[in-house]
Amino acid sequence: MIRSYRTVYLFLAFYLGLSAHAQQLQAQPLVREKLSLDKGWLFHLGDIPFPVITGHGPSYATSKAGSATGAASVRYNDKDWRQLNLPHDWSSEMPFDSTENLSQGFRKRGYGWYRRYFKLDSADRGKNIELQFDGIATNAEIWVNGTVVHRNWCGYTSSYIDITPLALYGKNQTNIIAIRVDAVAHEGWWYEGAGIYRHTWLVKRPALYITTDGVYANPVKKPGGSWQIPAEVTLANAGMAPENATVGINLLDRNNKIVGSAATGVQVAVLGTTTAKVLLNVADPTLWDVDNPYLYKVVTTIKQNNKLVDELTTKCGFRTIEFRAASGFYLNGKPVKLKGTCNHLDHAGVGVAVPDALWGFRLGKLKEMGSNAYRCSHNPPPAELLEACDSMGMLVMDENRNFNTSDEYVRQLQWMVQRDRNHPSVILWSVFNEEPFQGDWRGYEMVRYMSARVKDLDTTRPVTAAQSGGQLNPVNVSQAADVVGFNYQQGAYDAFHKKYPDKPLVSSEDGSAVMTRGEYVTDRKKDILGSYDTEFQPWGNTHRKDWRLIDERPFVAGGFYWTGFDYHGEPQPNEWPAIASVFGIMDLCGFPKSAFWIHQAQWRNDIPVLHLVPHWNWPADSIGKKIKVMAFSNVDSIALLLNGKEIGGQKADKYEMNTWYVPYRPGKLEAIGYNAHKKVVTRFSVETTGAAYALQLIPYKKALKNDGWDAMPVTVQVVDKKGRPVPTVNNNITFDVTGGATIIGVGNGDPLSHESEKGNQRSLFNGLAQLIIQSREGANGTVKITASTPGLRSATVSLPLTAVPVPPFVPEAKLPAPTNH
């Protein structure tokens, strides 16, 4: 019974509003928009406690929709908060502090709050509105318009939040996002950063739409040799009535030419989801591989009555993968030894808030070294990293963060698989890294269950687990994995293969040698580790020995060396004041250590490789003293000369490399590389330089895009009057950047340095430092970079700005006259 006029009014208002909403749905323009939400956030460092309700206060009110209090309230006064753009890692801005956690790089993490205001046009009513947070470190609670909408329990998984029921529309309505980030929680024993460190998005879709990560279009090769894309497309219907539609797939080559099409019909219930299956046959595609990473576009369309409703473009690559127990990994039917590295996510100057362009820089350095494989240690990576791996030809072990079979953690695992299963670069799913139950029945059952959940979503890739022991136990996780992962168990390779000759094997993590870039004399008391590949952790091996153990065994598919790059935190074997690891083949900036050329000599056969260490700038009291000299090479034989006089020749050793002990004399130390026919194929030399004379700037790229996203590292070094780099100087450098770019970070690769990674100053470390710049949105002209230091000639370089479209973004908005309550 209707009991009052007010009730009648509310009922009619609801009914009439619903009818108007339905009419608006029918007239809704069919447009999908993915808009960047990175700009215009407000940030407060530290926690803001919620008001405590005492006495007879209405405690129930805080649990009502839209009634959040404190910094989550729609009326909270945030006028004094800092304004910034994402991605953002506040921990990278913190000073180093010996009382903070060692594994997190001795930097404060704690709590932080973010708020963002935005408007939605009246025309957006009736669309599906979704917020996407690609990564928040570590845990987060998210409110929209005063209502808690999501809690995130992993810093490496994305949050997709449907805010359609809560969104406000029209020019007089403002939407408010509030986020409390808890970075006190740790998920790893390495630097994880703090804050909203990956991209954020606002996605507007029609009422009948393709869901997020809802297109699975991974090509497969049939037994007869033909190719198919058995696409699966998940649709959702936020409308008022069941909907019939046609789901279509168009395959486009590099030239955007349609080379295949297929379609099927589907019906989607009200507020329901349906997965349509579309089979597309493809004739003679160009294959994707590490040398020619050819990508196709998959354009998925939703049509009703021949009118386009929704459209989504993904990419795919045609390739076959296979792990054979006797002979390792095969790509497109050809054996490929996996020459991999393990890597965390941070970089000098920016922490884990890595600009997209920097992934290309880092992968480029790995490819230059000869690496063809990348392990995402120990967590799902940013989507942009996998996109770079796809386009650059880098094979990927995609790794789950949390080894747990409870619902939430299985959801995290399946999110990773669903997001990443279209990437041709991904060849392995790893469900864990070095877990306590790995050698018993508990681990076996957990991997068996998690593997099944992976295969609910993707059966085209094997499942592995990075196991640091127990492979020979009667029951262990290797028996539930498709490919057995070995972490630091080189002594068990042969025994395992003999016992389980039908089980494929990969070295999922190996090495753990340590060295400090540019240092050649170990001094443990000073946390300095020499760069002759003689220092390694008790569980590990040298770079040279480790690769030999893998390379000489065809049944080992390859290996992933720990690590490609140094990273903040986990400074072992060093302790405070050391604040960064020294495991890397390259340092935090991506500057090569000796290990880089060791692996280049081992892994590249397309070019002659020859490199000498150490430098040849030693003090006067070193004259006559023997200096250990190493040559890293893939040639047949090497001759070593000092000031034109031959020291001696050696047959090149492709595993151990070559060593001489040379009495020091200033001048030129030169190595000459010969092939098997005694023909000179390469030369390399180090020289005693003159005094430091001038600075030199070396940008990674020749130009910078003006979209506000593009970024690049710039190397600064010191040269003598002849232009030769001086490898031993440590001057403090001041940077000045004018024009269309800003400084977002500085570094030098020194694992002991406590200098700030923000600002415009940084000391050189053994002759090198790095500046990272990012373009200003819409800027024109050039970027001018100047480096200066007292007593040396300054350096200036100008970079042109290339005009490109600015990525679509959500404009900032603001509420009037907020008051805290």
Q: Which residues pair with 43 in a beta bridge?
A: 82, 114
Q: Which of 399, 435, 509, 670 is catalytic?
A: 509
The closest alpha carbon to 597, from 507, 666, 538, 658, belongs to: 658
For residues 92 and 353, the answer to whether their CB atoms sit within 8 Å is yes
Of 311, 322, 434, 656, the active-site residue reads: 434
Give dist(CA 389, CA 428) in Å, integer: 14
What is the Cα–Cα distance from 300 to 311, expressed in whole angstroms?
Answer: 6
Asked whether the beta carbons of 716 and 788 are under 8 A apart, the reply is no
Tokens 């950047």 belong to 737
221: exposed, middle or buried (Cβ count in 10 Å: 0-12, 13-18, 19+): middle
CA distances from 785 to 204, 500, 743, 795 (A): 40, 59, 10, 8
Q: Amino acid identity, residue 354?
A: V
Find, among 663, 662, 669, 699, the residue nearest to 684 by Cα: 669
d(CA 686, CA 672): 12
Nearest-angstrom CA–CA distance, 535 and 330? 33
| Closest by Cα among 91, 88, 170, 160 to 124 | 170
**Is the four-CA dihedral 479, 481, 487, 492 of positive or negative sign?**
positive
Distance, C-alpha 793 to centroid of its chain: 37
Amino acid making up residue 424: P
Q: How far is CA 491 from CA 82, 483, 512, in A?
A: 54, 18, 15
Helices 383-392, 356-369: axis angle to 10 degrees equals 40
Give the count of beta carbons closer than 10 Å to the beta carbon of residue 474: 9
Q: Give the contacts of 504 (CB within 8 A, at least 6 positions apart).
A: 323, 324, 325, 328, 462, 482, 483, 484, 557
Instruction: Check if 434 is active-site.
Output: yes
Residues with catalytic annotation? Answer: 434, 509
